[in-house]
């Protein structure tokens, strides 16, 4: 399967995940960047972006990073996601996610996602994620 373009992945994201407000910013051979626009619905007590929002951004970043590499395979599913929360995200800045693939095998892919409050160089969270890739029909 050929690699999709940025526009193709963006269309896929909008049609398959209409409930998600994550947007795809860029793809390259080394990294895939996504953005979560942060509003009050993403915050938790204490005025910070909630953990489940961060996990959701990472999951989408990994999914798009994988599809950018292997082509649009809608049936790939997350099998494991491990997140470390490192710093308190800013309540008034978007979350940016950068996915880097560690391995893309025939049946499993592993990647890491670093999450940032926009403008900071130190990550707010770090995620390692495994996806199972369905066998070709």
Stretch in the footprint of its own copies (CB under 8 A) among 1-9, 29-37, 78-86, 90-98: 78-86
Stretch in the footprint of its own copies (CB under 8 A) among 1-9, 25-33, 71-79, 91-99: 71-79
Stretch in the footprint of its own copies (CB under 8 A) among 1-9, 29-37, 89-97, 124-132: 124-132
Q: DSSP letters of 8-72?
A: HHHHHHHHH-TT--EEEEEE-SS-EEEEE---GGGEETTTEE-HHHHHHHHHHHHHHHHHHHH--
Contacting its own copies (CB under 8 A), which of 21, 87, 91, 93? 87
Tokens matching residue 137: 């029909």
Give the length of the chain.
137
Identify the CA nearest to 22 among candidates 32, 37, 7. 37
Q: Which residues are near its own copies by CB under 8 A?
A: 16-17, 19, 41, 44-46, 51-53, 55-56, 59, 74-75, 77-87, 102-103, 107-108, 110, 112, 122-123, 126, 128, 130, 132
């Amino acid at each position: 399967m050929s690699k999709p373009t940025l526009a193709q992945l963006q269309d896929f994201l909008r049609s398959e995940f209409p409930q998600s407000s994550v947007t795809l910013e860029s793809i390259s051979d080394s990294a895939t960047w996504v953005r979560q626009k942060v509003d009050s619905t993403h915050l938790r007590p204490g005025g910070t972006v909630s953990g489940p929002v961060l996990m959701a951004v990472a999951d989408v970043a990994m999914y798009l990073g994988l599809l950018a590499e292997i082509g649009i395979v809608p049936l790939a599913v997350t099998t494991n996601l491990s997140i470390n929360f490192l710093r308190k995200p800013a309540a008034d800045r978007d979350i940016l996610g950068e996915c880097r693939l560690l391995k893309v095998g025939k049946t499993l892919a592993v990647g890491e996602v670093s999450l940032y409050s926009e403008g900071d160089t130190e990550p707010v969270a770090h995620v390692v994620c495994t996806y199972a890739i369905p066998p070709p029909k």
